[in-house]
C-alpha cells in the first residue's frame, strides 16, 4: 500500500487564541520557541511553549494574519496556553480572544503532518489520522510529551529556532543541545504486533531501555510505535524487547 493517502483531519476542537495589539510580535517571540517574525499572512510555524527549565508546556501552531496572530493548540492545552499568555502579558500592548472557527488539515503523506497548513473551513474527517501522526513522529501532548521532557528529546527539533532572540527556556535548551545532553529520545519502532502504550522496553545494551508511548497498526507499515529510548539503544536498526515481542528501532518519520 502506498504511503500517499488523503487523510482529512478535523481540528475544529483545537484551542484557538487570537493575539492582537502593537506588541504582539515582540510578545510572541519571547513566548514561543520558533521564529514568527518572518511569517507572511496565512503562513504558520510550529513551536513549543517552554517553562524556565526548558521543559515542554505545550505544542502550538502560530498562524500569521493581518494585524494578528492565531495560536492553535490541542484541546488538552487550550486553557493552559491561554492562561500562560495572559500571565506573561504584564505591560505589553496585547489582547487575547478565544475563537472557534472550523479547521481541518490534509495529511496526504507523513511529511504533511509537519507542514500542512490549517484550512479554515469545515470538512468531514477521513482516513486514519492517528496512524498518520505516528508515522510522522509528531508527539501528542499528554501522550508522548509533557512537562517532563525537553523539546529535543520529544522529536520537536523542527519547532525550535537556533537563531532568533531570547524566549522562555531558551538558555537551558541551547546549553543542553550544544552539549548533546539528551539521554533519551522519541524514536520509531517496527513491531510484529501492536504493543500497548506503557510497555517497557529492554535491549542487550540496557535492560531498562525505554517505554512505548503511542502504538498503532499502520495501513502502510504494519504495527509501529513511538517510544522513548535511552541513547545507548536509540540507533535505527537496534533490536529491543517489548514484552514477548522483539522490535526494531526506526528513524522518524517512518519510510518504506
Contacts of 92 (CB under 8 A, 6+ apart): 21, 23, 26, 27
DSSP track, 131-186: HHHHHHT---BTTTB-TTS-TTTTT-GGG--SSS---TTHHHHHHHHHTT--SEEE
* pLDDT of 176: 80
Q: Could you give the CA distance from residue 12 to residue 80 in angstroms, rounded to a whole number?
A: 18
Instruction: Say whether pTM exceeds 0.75.
Output: yes
3-state secondary structure of 129: helix
**For position 256, what pLDDT does the model report?**
78
Domain 183-256 has CATH 3.40.50.2020: no
Residue pair 46/159 in contact (Cβ under 8 Å)? The answer is yes
Tell me what pLDDT residue 2 has: 58
Where, residue-wise, is CATH 3.30.70.1400 in the chain?
7-136
The whole-angstrom separation of Cα 50 and Cα 60 is: 11
- State how far the Cα of 211 lies from the Cα of 164, in Å rounded to an integer: 34
Q: Helix, strand, coil shares of the chain as percentages rounded to 5?
A: 15, 30, 50
Is 130 strand, coil or helix? Answer: helix
Residue by residue, pLDDT tens for the chain (256 residues) are: 457 789 999 999 999 999 999 999 999 999 999 999 999 999 999 999 999 999 999 999 999 999 999 999 999 999 999 999 999 999 999 999 999 999 999 999 999 999 999 999 999 999 999 999 999 999 999 999 999 999 999 999 999 998 887 999 999 988 887 777 789 999 999 999 999 999 999 999 999 999 999 999 999 999 999 999 999 999 999 999 999 999 999 999 999 7
147 touches 76 (CB < 8 A):
no
For the chain, residues classed under CATH 2.40.30.110 are 183-256
Q: What is the DSSP letter of 198?
A: T
Tell whether domain 7-136 is in CATH 3.30.70.1400. yes
The Cα-based distances of 184 to 50, 128, 155, 228 in angstroms read: 18, 28, 11, 6
The DSSP bridge partners found for residue 245 are 242
Amino acid at each position: 500500500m502506498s504511503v500517499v493517502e488523503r487523510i482529512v483531519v478535523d481540528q475544529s476542537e483545537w484551542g484557538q487564541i487570537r493575539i492582537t495589539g502593537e506588541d504582539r510580535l515582540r510578545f510572541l517571540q519571547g513566548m514561543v520557541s520558533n521564529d514568527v517574525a518572518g511569517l507572511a499572512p496565512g503562513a504558520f510555524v510550529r513551536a513549543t511553549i517552554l517553562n524556565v527549565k526548558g521543559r515542554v508546556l505545550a505544542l502550538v501552531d502560530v498562524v500569521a494574519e493581518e494585524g494578528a496572530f492565531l495560536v492553535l493548540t490541542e484541546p488538552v492545552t487550550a486553557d493552559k496556553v491561554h492562561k500562560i499568555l495572559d500571565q506573561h502579558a504584564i505591560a505589553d500592548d496585547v489582547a487575547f480572544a478565544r475563537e472557534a472557527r472550523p479547521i481541518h488539515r490534509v495529511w496526504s503523506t507523513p511529511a504533511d503532518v509537519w507542514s500542512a497548513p490549517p484550512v479554515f473551513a469545515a470538512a468531514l474527517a477521513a482516513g486514519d489520522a492517528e496512524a498518520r501522526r505516528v508515522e510522522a513522529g509528531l508527539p501528542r501532548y499528554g501522550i508522548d510529551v509533557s512537562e517532563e521532557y525537553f523539546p529535543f528529546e520529544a522529536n520537536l527539533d523542527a519547532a525550535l529556532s537556533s537563531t532568533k532572540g531570547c524566549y522562555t527556556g531558551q538558555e537551558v535548551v541551547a546549553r543542553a543541545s550544544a552539549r548533546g545532553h539528551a539521554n533519551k529520545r522519541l524514536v520509531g519502532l517496527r513491531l510484529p504486533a501492536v504493543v500497548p502504550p506503557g510497555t517497557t522496553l529492554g535491549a542487550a545494551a540496557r535492560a531498562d531501555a525505554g517505554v512505548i508511548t503511542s502504538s498503532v497498526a499502520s495501513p502502510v507499515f504494519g504495527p509501529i510505535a513511538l517510544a522513548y529510548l535511552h541513547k545507548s539503544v536509540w540507533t535505527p536498526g537496534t533490536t529491543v524487547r517489548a514484552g514477548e515481542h522483539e522490535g526494531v528501532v526506526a528513524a522518524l518519520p517512518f519510510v518504506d
